[in-house]
Amino acid sequence: MKQDAEYYIVEADALPEVFKKVMAAKNLLASGKAETIKDAVNEIGISRSAYYKYKDSIFPFFDARVAKIITLSLTLEHKPGILSNVLNILASAGGNILTINQNIPLNQIANVTISFDTKNMKIKLNELISKLAEIPGVIRNEIIAEQ
C-alpha cells in the first residue's frame, strides 16, 4: 500500500463492476475455491490484467458495529466429548472460532478459553450462553471479554 494513500468507504453498489469482480476473485482465492489467479478470473469473468491492476486497491470492510470477538471462559468436566459438544453448539449458532486454549485437566476439571467471531451468529449471545450451560459436563461458562 502507498504510504500517502487516501481511503474512502463506498457502498459496493456504487462501485464499477470491475472492482466487485476483483473482490470476488480475491474471495475465491482466499477461500481455496480457486487454486490460481487464472482460475479465479476465468470463473468471475474478468481479465488477469484487470485483476492485477486493482487487486491491491480493494479490500473488504469489516463492520465492527455488527461483529464482535467474544472470549468465553469455561470450566468443563474432564470427560470425552464435552469440549466437542461446546464447539458444535458454537458452530451451529454461527460462531466462527478464532482460538481455543485448554489447560491440562486437574482433579478431572479442565479450564478452556474460546474466542470467536459473532459476525454470522444466528442466535443472540445470551441464548448461546444458555445453550452452553445446558450441556452435561459444563460446570461454568462466562464471557470474559468483548472486542
State the pTM of this model: 0.57
Q: What is the DSSP letter of 2?
A: -
Q: What span, in angstroms and rounded, lies between the C-alpha atoms of 90 and 132?
A: 8
Domain identity same for 107 and 142: yes
CB 91 within 8 A of CB 50: no
Number of domains in the chain: 2
- What does the block give as the cell for 94? 454461527
Residue 138 lies in a domain: yes
| 144: pLDDT strictly greater than 60 | yes
Handedness of CA 77, 110, 112, 79 (dihedral sign): negative
Do 26 and 94 sit in the same domain of this protein?
Answer: no
Is the domain of 98 the same as that of 37? no
- How do residues 39-68 score in pLDDT, each as one tens digit? 999 999 999 999 999 988 887 765 444 568
| Confidence band for 4, pLDDT divided at 50, 70 and 90 | low
Q: Can you give the residue range of the structural domain that contains 121?
A: 69-146
- pLDDT reported for residue 67: 60
Q: In angstroms, rounded to a whole number, what is the distance separating the alpha carbons of residues 144 and 147? A: 10
Domain with 97 in it: what CATH number? 3.30.70.260
- Does residue 59 lie in a domain region? no
Interatomic CA distance for residues 95 and 28, integer angstroms: 22
Both 38 and 80 in one domain: the answer is no
Output the average pLDDT for the chain: 89
| Structural contact between residues 101 and 113, judged by C-beta atoms closer than 8 angstroms | yes
pLDDT above 70 coverage of the chain, percent:
92
User: Does the residue 1 lie in any domain?
Assistant: no
Is pLDDT of 133 > 60?
yes
